[in-house]
């Protein structure tokens, strides 16, 4: 099948390459569409997000590429919104991803996906070493984010598992995750399978975990396959294998953005 990814990063936020280089890579890979989703502006952490001053250039560049390569690939303009960002001018974008990258504790924004050491430090410092309490707080934050953002696509749902710190088979963990999933799917039934942490060698399986994939299917949700790539070589990283995982869970379709609409494509 021809692949698509709607979760990609460029030099406008923390990606390595120019949007046009990503487009050329996607064309070389015979992808049907590519969407750009640089990180929304967060005033408390500036090193990885798009700045208000560069946002117009980002929008103009993606729209320019859309026209330039219209006969070769479909190009879409998105933004990966963090729940602590303010959504302005949403009508400028073809879609948004909704995500949670931080826990806010007091005045501190605690990064979920920075490093294992940082995550363990936060669990120790703010949750008395109780990883399950951290997990509950993360999933509550995730739900708050999607309820605030109302995104077209739910992004990396179980980002907290990036460093294999949590016992994902624990009933307490699964209940917190499943409760948050049920609420989130009511906001948007479209959730991504995300291979980004794999291409960056942090994880050996995509988000979300298999027990969540099963529940998404049970609840009538839909999967969109995204690479969360920061490198033009990773646009379709682990996609063949991810399709196999989805088939093994019982999926018959994924969703892709084609012709401006989210449509089901057989797998
Ligand atoms: Zn993210
Ligand atoms: Zn991302």
Which CATH fold would you assign to the domain 4-99+131-266?
TIM Barrel (3.20.20)
Query: What is the distance in A from the centroid of ligand 1 to the CA of 71?
Result: 30
Cβ atoms of 8 and 227 within 8 Å: the answer is yes
Q: Has residue 86 got a pLDDT over 90?
A: no
- Give yes or no for residue 46 having a pLDDT over 90: no
Give the distance (Å) from ligand 2 centre to CA of residue 127. 26
pLDDT of residue 122 exceeding 90, the answer is yes
Q: How many residues can be counted in the chain? A: 267
Distance separating alpha carbons of residues 35 and 80, to the nearest angstrom: 11
Q: What is the pLDDT of residue 44?
A: 87
- Alpha helices by DSSP H, the chain: 19-28, 55-68, 116-127, 131-149, 171-187, 196-199, 210-218, 239-249
When the pLDDT of each residue in the chain is averaged and rounded to a whole number, the result is 96
d(CA 192, CA 181): 12
Q: Which of 41, 49, 37 is nearest to 6 (CA)?
A: 37
Closest ligand (CA of 111): 1
pLDDT tens column, 190-217: 999 999 999 999 999 999 999 999 999 9
Q: Considering the entire predicted model, what is its pTM?
A: 0.96
Which numbered ligand comes closest to the C-alpha of 98? 1
Quick one: pLDDT at residue 184? Answer: 98
Residues 93 and 78: beta-carbon distance below 8 Å: yes
Q: Mean pLDDT over residues 173-178, rounded?
A: 98
Q: What is the mean pLDDT of residues 65-78?
A: 98
pLDDT at 33 over 90: yes
């Amino acid at each position: 099948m021809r692949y698509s990814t709607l979760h990609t990063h460029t030099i406008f936020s923390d990606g390595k390459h120019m949007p046009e280089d990503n487009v050329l890579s996607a064309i070389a890979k015979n992808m049907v569409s590519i969407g750009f989703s640089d990180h929304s502006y967060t005033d408390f952490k500036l090193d990885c997000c798009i700045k208000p001053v560069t946002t117009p250039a980002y929008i103009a560049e993606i729209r320019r590429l859309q026209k330039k390569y219209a006969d070769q690939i479909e190009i879409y303009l998105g933004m990966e919104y963090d729940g602590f960002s303010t959504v302005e001018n949403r009508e400028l974008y073809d879609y948004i991803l909704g995500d949670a990258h931080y826990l806010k504790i007091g005045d501190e924004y605690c990064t979920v996906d920075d490093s294992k050491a940082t995550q363990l430090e936060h669990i120790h410092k703010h949750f008395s070493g109780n990883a399950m309490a951290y997990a509950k707080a993360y999933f509550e934050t995730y739900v708050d984010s999607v309820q605030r953002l109302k995104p077209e696509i739910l992004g990396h749902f179980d980002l907290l598992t990036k460093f294999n710190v949590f016992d994902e088979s624990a009933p307490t963990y699964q209940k917190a995750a499943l409760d948050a999933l049920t609420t989130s799917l009511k906001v948007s039934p479209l959730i991504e399978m995300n291979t980004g942490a794999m291409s960056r060698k942090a994880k050996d399986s995509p988000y979300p975990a298999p027990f969540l994939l099963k529940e998404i299917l049970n609840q009538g949700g839909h999967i969109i396959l995204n690479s969360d790539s920061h490198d033009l070589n990773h646009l379709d990283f682990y996609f063949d294998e991810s399709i196999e995982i989805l088939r093994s869970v019982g999926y018959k379709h994924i969703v892709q953005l084609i012709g401006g609409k989210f449509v089901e494509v057989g797998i």
